[in-house]
Amino acid sequence: MEGFLSIVESVNGKVNGFVWGLPMLILLVGTGILMTALTKVFQVTHIGHWMKNTIGGIFSDKKVTKHTGKEDKQITQFQSLCTALAATIGTGNIAGVSAAIVSGGPGAIFWMWIVAFFGMKTNYSENVLGIFYRRRNEKDEWCGGAMYYLKDGLGSKKGCKQIGAILAVLFSCFALLASFGIGNMSQINSIAANMNSAFGVAPLATGIVLMIFAGLVIVGGLKRIASVTEALVPFMAIAYVIGALAVFICHIDQAGAVFVAIIKGAFGMRAVGGGIVGSGVAMAVQWGMKRGVFSNEAGLGSSVMVHSSSNVREPVVQGMWGIFEVFADTIIVCTLTAFAVLSSGLVNLETGEVISANESTALVAEAFSTVFGKLGSGFIAIAILLFAFSTVLGWSQYGTKGFEYLFGRKMVIIYQVIFVVFILVGATMNLSLAWDLSDTFNGLMAIPNLIGVLALSGTVMKITDNYVRRKLKGENIKPMLSAIEDIQEKHEKEI
């Protein structure tokens, strides 16, 4: 058995190195750059419009938050955002940012911002395609995601029917496998370890409680998950943002030095941890990009599976929520974590060397303790609990959609029960290998998804241009809302 595990670890190390190596990061960022160019830097040129229609719409447009009837299987725009953020705002926003600083120095944060900037348009494109190619299942629920725009979008291109179908199945398989790792066991394991460290709670007890709570929510389906995340996500995000802001404000005299350290570290004007400057730049770029991608998941094709269930008709409207999702996750939450750590005195801003012996969540907890004392570690433990548990809820829906695509809607309850049981497994096992395997499957999701986004980039450009001309320039042209409607219309014309 030990020999088998060593082989698995060796193979996984090579695969994981390929999946999250420089070529893959270039593909992810390159896709974002292309989509930014094709949509004429939409995230900047129309920043007022997408802000007004996302965060502004929560307070001014009842359609954004108005719940649908019990019989209606759709969820609101705000619920789709909260469920997506539930999955993306997780341990990566705390432990991941800390790891980037430890391994890549303060400069890693700059490259994390770069990934987020272009990732906004990747996530936007995924959501536009998700709405455009979505369909309803036998229970009248919306089904959308990379598997559908791969099969129906890429598959509709000449000579691509078979490759589109194969990639759709591969994406669904990767999403299903990743949901048990990065979306379940690894998150629960982090919660159990932190609860045991901070409060002395036995991992088994943590696992049992979380399994019961998760079971009550997950088996109830998307609308119940959305109802829980709608209440949980704003609370946990606002509470964490306030806590991180308090740490930064208490060390506001370090603000200038923090910004200087980030910019200089990003371009190698000083070495990371006293090492070679060239090596420091490479580490800053690699770790900043990796943490940015892991945190907001832009390019993986994950959150589009929830966004596609929204009660909107306009693909671009849901695309704008994708922009805001990346903005909230990385530009706001991850940045505040970084500023809290860098301003706390635990990092030498001149060399980028971490002075503290702590890493991961313990480093962030120590940073918070410089302001809140012993309450700092407790605050971070609770944050990890909420962040990681919400990630489990969000990823359960991703796995559900992958499973449904492969085996049909009637079999979904089997997946949900197994998923809930694995929560107990995650709380009580040593999951170092599971972390690596889950990272691999998580990254493998990006390959078929990015192929789909790149192949359909022209479609995203046309839909965006159509929306801008209609909604912003006032032109009287026919909207591009649904691929299915277009197919039906062509069929009617042929008849």
Closest CA to 345 of 358, 335, 356: 356
Q: Is residue 257 part of a domain?
A: yes
pLDDT above 60 (res 118)? yes
pLDDT band per the 50, 70, 90 thresholds, residue 486: low
**In a domain? residue 1:** no
pLDDT value of residue 7: 36
Q: Residue 415 has what pLDDT?
A: 92
Residue 5 forms part of a structural domain: no
Instruction: Single out the residue of 383, 380, 353 nearest to residue 366, CA to CA.
Output: 380
Going by the DSSP 8-state scheme, the letter that residue 184 receives in this structure is I
In whole angstroms, what separates CA 27 from the centre of its chain? Answer: 17
Q: Is residue 57 part of a domain?
A: yes
Using 50, 70 and 90 to split pLDDT, how confident is the model at 280? Answer: low
What domain range includes position 165? 16-487
What is the arithmetic mean of pLDDT over 302-307? 87
Which of 14-23, 129-138, 285-294, 346-355 has the lowest average pLDDT? 14-23
Q: Does residue 12 carry a pLDDT above 70?
A: no
At 440 the pLDDT is 74
> pTM for the whole thing?
0.87
Asked whether the CA dihedral 466, 470, 471, 474 is positive or negative, the reply is positive
Q: Is residue 390 part of a domain?
A: yes
19-28, 131-140, 443-452: range with lowest mean pLDDT: 19-28
Rounded distance between C-alpha atoms, residue 353 and residue 295, angstroms: 23
CATH number for position 152: 1.10.4160
Which of 92-101, 128-137, 417-426 has the weakest average pLDDT? 92-101
- For residue 194, the model assigns a pLDDT of 79
Query: Is 471 within a domain?
Result: yes
SS3 142: strand
- Which pLDDT belongs to residue 320? 94
Reported as a pLDDT band with limits 50, 70 and 90, residue 71 is low
Longest dimension (CA), the chain: 74
Would residue 7 count as lying in a domain?
A: no
- For the ranges 64-78, 82-96, 142-156, 298-312, the lowest mean pLDDT is seen at 64-78
Number of domains in the chain: 1
pLDDT in tens, 340-386: 999 988 888 887 788 877 777 788 888 999 999 888 888 888 888 88
**191 inside domain:** yes
Residues 6+ apart with CB under 8 A from 252: 343
Q: Return d(Cα 88, Cα 109) in angstroms, integer.
A: 18
Burial class (CB within 10 angstroms; exposed 0-12, middle 13-18, buried 19+) of 183: buried
DSSP-assigned letters across all residues of 453-484: HHHTHHHHHHHHHHHIIIIIS---------HH
Could you tell me the pLDDT band of residue 436, with boundaries at 50, 70 and 90?
low
Read off the pLDDT band of 1 (50, 70, 90). very low
**Cα–Cα distance measured from residue 203 to residue 193, given in angstroms and rounded to the nearest whole number:** 7
pLDDT, tens digit, for every residue of 129-139? 999 999 888 77
List phi, psi (to 5°) of 359.
Answer: -135, 175
State pLDDT tens for residues 185-237.
888 888 888 788 778 888 899 889 999 998 888 888 777 888 888 888 888 88
Average pLDDT over the chain, rounded to whole?
82
Paired tokens of 465: 């241009």
